[in-house]
Copies of this chain bind each other. A is one copy, B any other.
């Protein structure tokens, strides 16, 4: 949160109440939240109740790297390393919903070679693994 504030100050970005609270909501959650989950919490706090409110705040946070969108879940998680340039990959537990972020340069470089071969120019990548987290895997034994 502090990192986000500093980054916004430094980059001339406006971390408005809605955006700030949206980021807090995601930081407080252990699991990915859908836009409507976020919206419901914003509504409770009196910060808006219509979809565009949530989608705009999430769009801002994603655009500036404070939040990632999980395509597989149509949901959002706070970034582990906000501010840094990175190429995230995610591990999504199908049992408990936990979403872990890690860096996946290997994934991208693997793709990169294929891309170069075919002349494709990568702008961004989505890398998401689905499975069981350590805790849930152990619980299943």
A113–B106 touching, CB < 8 Å: yes
Nearest-neighbour CB distance to chain B for A140, whole angstroms, equals: 9
Known: A106-B109, A110-B110, A127-B127. A122 touches B71 (CB 8 A): no
Residue A89 at the chain B interface, CB threshold 8 Å: yes
Nearest-neighbour CB distance to chain B for A139, whole angstroms, equals: 12
Q: Please report the C-alpha to C-alpha distance between residue A120 and residue B92 in the assembled complex, in whole angstroms.
A: 9
Q: Which of B107, B118, B119, B123 contacts A107 (CB 8 A)?
A: B107
* Binary CB contact string for chain A from 121 to 141 against chain B (1 if under 8 A, 0 otherwise): 111111111111110011000
Residue A105 at the chain B interface, CB threshold 8 Å: yes
> 10 smallest A-B Cβ distances: which pairs?
A106-B110, A119-B134, A107-B107, A71-B71, A123-B131, A126-B128, A122-B131, A107-B110, A102-B114, A91-B120
> Can you list 28 A-B contacts (CB < 8 A)?
A71-B71, A71-B128, A91-B120, A91-B122, A93-B120, A100-B118, A100-B120, A102-B118, A104-B107, A104-B114, A105-B110, A106-B109, A106-B110, A110-B110, A111-B127, A115-B129, A119-B133, A119-B134, A120-B132, A120-B133, A121-B137, A122-B129, A123-B129, A123-B132, A125-B127, A125-B128, A126-B128, A127-B127
